[in-house]
Amino acid sequence: MIKCSAGTAKVLGLKELKSDALPTTAYLMTGERCSNDCSFCPQAKYSGARADLLSRVTWPEYAREAVLDGVARAFEANSIKRSCFQVTNSKHALQETKVFLQDLQSKSPVPICVSCSVGTVQAVSELINQGADHVSIALDAACERIFVENKAGSWSQKYRLLQESAKEFPGRIATHLIVGLGETEEEMLRTVQEMVDLGVTIALFALTPIKGTRLEHGKPPAIDQYRRIQAARYLIQKGLDRFEKMCFEGGKLVRLGLSEEEWVNALADGEAFRTSGCPDCNRPYYNEKPGGLIYNYPKPLTLEQREQALRELNLGGLTGSVQIPD
Ligand code: SF4
């Protein structure tokens, strides 16, 4: 059996679901409760959350063949462009992942990302040699202080693994960073810059408190904080700005390294505020309720949404001299 996110199950033809934004990546998951025990994760070993949740999304389970055939069909029909395989940590996770890679590739040339808890460059290499397009090594936390509070294991080991893997496999390593775990914007953006310098793809998430997790009473990040991190990540990733040129007061980003006209123009198309990560990964409603506040837009923003996102940055706002193109 394999779990699919509810949106994925709809795209694969396994479930009826009404949604105004469907995934462009097929999100699949295997494994039981995860031995890593992260504070925010419903799959954590000591979490009392529903076992069919990851973030706020439900993950119904289907027969393995039905899922693999569905992915192959959806890729052929161009309704998905990639598949992301998440594996909760266990003794057999690496072996299971390799078998999955083999099985899916026997049915489809769909690019596959793997997000599983690997401990060595050798394990990363085995996944890449087995056909993984990207391997995600999730830092989740922006810095060691936040890592220690929220995750098991060692920050420095994970960081070193990212460095070594990125060097060995340029352009093939991704990481996940969660905004809202108590880090400052300065801590987050320092790590964003370091990851970009290493050539690591960054997927930003907003903390989503889930009932039954250690952080069930936590607070999602303020929207202005999240927009500033999204904007700065985008500008850094595009090579238009750098962490060292940005100004922070009490850990909060107060000025980008670009002039207001430059950053408004660079951000006007709204791309910065779309879901970030591997190509075509849009994770609809992973951090947000439909109709509620949108942290990561899963599809191109409307003119109104683009204007709103720029205002939400709270970085001086629009002067009126800069036009947002239609
Ligand atoms: S960025 Fe998206 S596709 Fe890539 S590993 Fe993360 S969730 Fe999967």
In the reported structure, the alpha carbon of residue 205 is separated from the centroid of ligand 1 by a whole-number distance in angstroms of 11
Residue 156 maps to a domain: yes
- Domain count along the chain: 1
Tokens of residue 184, six digits: 């400052």
Residue 33: per-residue pLDDT: 67
Residue 39 covered by a domain: yes
Domain-embedded: residue 175: yes
Range of the domain at 290: 2-312
**CATH code of the domain in which 113 resides:** 3.20.20.70
Q: Is 229 inside any structural domain?
A: yes
253 strand-pairing partners: 248
The gap from C-alpha 198 to its chain's centroid, in whole angstroms, comes to 17
**Nearest to 308, CA basis, from 284, 277, 257, 273:** 273
Looking at residue 192, its pLDDT comes to: 98
3-state secondary structure of 242: coil
Give the pairing type, strands 247-249 and 252-255. antiparallel
What is the 67 CA–ligand 1 centroid distance (Å)? 18
Q: What count of other Cβ atoms lies within 10 Å of the Cβ of residue 190?
A: 18
β-strand pairing of 201-206 with 134-136: unpaired
pTM (predicted TM-score) = 0.93
Cα(280)–Cα(222) distance, rounded to whole angstroms?
26
In a domain, residue 321? The reply is: no
**Ligand 1 site-directed mutation target among 8, 25, 127, most atoms within 8 Å of CB:** 25
Q: How far apart are CA 151 and CA 130, in angstroms?
A: 28
DSSP 18-87: --SS--SEEEEEE-SSBTT--TT-TTBTT--S-TTEETTEE--EE-HHHHHHHHHHHHHTTS-SEEEEEE
Determine the distance separating the centroid of ligand 1 and the alpha carbon of 320, expressed in angstroms. Answer: 37
What pLDDT is stored for residue 161 in this prediction? 97
For the CA of 203, the closest atom of ligand 1 is 1
Question: Helix crossing, 223-237 with 185-198: angle to 10°?
Answer: 20
Taking the CA of residue 153 as centre, how many other CA atoms within 13 Å lie in the half-sphere pointing to its CB? 21
Instruction: Report the pLDDT value the prediction gives residue 39, as an integer from 0 to 100.
Output: 85
- Mutation test of ligand 1: which of 59, 134, 274, 282 has the most ligand atoms closer than 8 Å to its C-beta? 134
pLDDT at 32: 67
Residue 218 domain flag: yes
CB 269 within 8 A of CB 297: no
Enclosing H/E stretch for 131: none
Ligand 1, pocket-test mutation among 208, 281, 282, most atoms within 8 A of CB:
281
Pocket of ligand 1 (CB under 6 A): 25, 84, 113, 115, 134, 136, 174, 176, 203, 277-278, 281
Enumerate the H helices of the chain as residue ranges.
6-11, 64-76, 93-105, 121-129, 144-150, 155-168, 185-198, 223-237, 260-267, 303-312
What are the pLDDT tens digits along the chain (326 aa)? 899 999 999 999 999 888 889 999 999 988 766 667 788 887 666 666 666 666 676 888 999 999 999 999 999 999 999 999 998 777 788 898 999 999 999 999 999 999 988 899 999 999 999 999 999 999 999 999 999 999 989 999 999 999 999 999 999 999 999 999 999 999 999 999 999 999 999 999 999 998 888 888 999 999 999 999 999 999 999 999 999 999 999 999 999 999 999 999 999 999 999 999 999 999 999 888 888 899 999 999 999 999 999 999 998 755 444 556 66
Helix and strand numbers (H, E) in the chain are 10, 12
